Amino acid sequence: MDFMISLAFKALLGALAVLLIALLARSKSFYIAGLVPLFPTFAVIAHYIIGSARPAADLRTTAIFGLWSLLPYAIYLAVIAWGAGKLPLPAILLLAMLAWGVAATLLIMLWVRFQPS
């Protein structure tokens, strides 16, 4: 039963985030809608789990990797900014997701290769 309550709460939070994004997208401050999905909900969960189950050094490593993971997101946003008005929206989004995937894959490959275990 606790699992179902937890799942329902997460679904409610997701629905509220989508509602907030939709409301902001229609407002004079529409650009703030891009900030809402960046609230570190999942990062807080991940950091709590890692911080309570692993040594502090592992939490630090996770945070540093999180900083590096901003690069694929920046590439995603750069593709969106470049393609806006030049390509149809579905094509821009698909291209941006592909760019994110390539950048994220490269980040992981480089991290595994150069980050001491």
- The pTM assigned to this predicted structure is 0.81
Count of all residues that appear for the chain in the document: 117
Average pLDDT, the chain: 92
Q: Per-residue pLDDT tens for 42-94?
A: 888 889 999 999 999 999 999 999 999 999 999 999 999 999 999 999 999 99
**Which residues are CB-neighbours of 4 under 8 A, at least 6 positions away?**
none
> If pLDDT is split at 50, 70 and 90, which confidence band does 117 have?
low
* pLDDT computed for residue 41 by the predictor: 81
Closest CA to 37 of 64, 76, 5: 76
**Is the separation of the CB atoms in 96 and 80 below 8 Å?**
yes
Interior/surface letters 3-32, b for 16+ CB within 10 angstroms, e for the rest: eeeeeeeeeeeeeeeeeebeebeeeeeeee
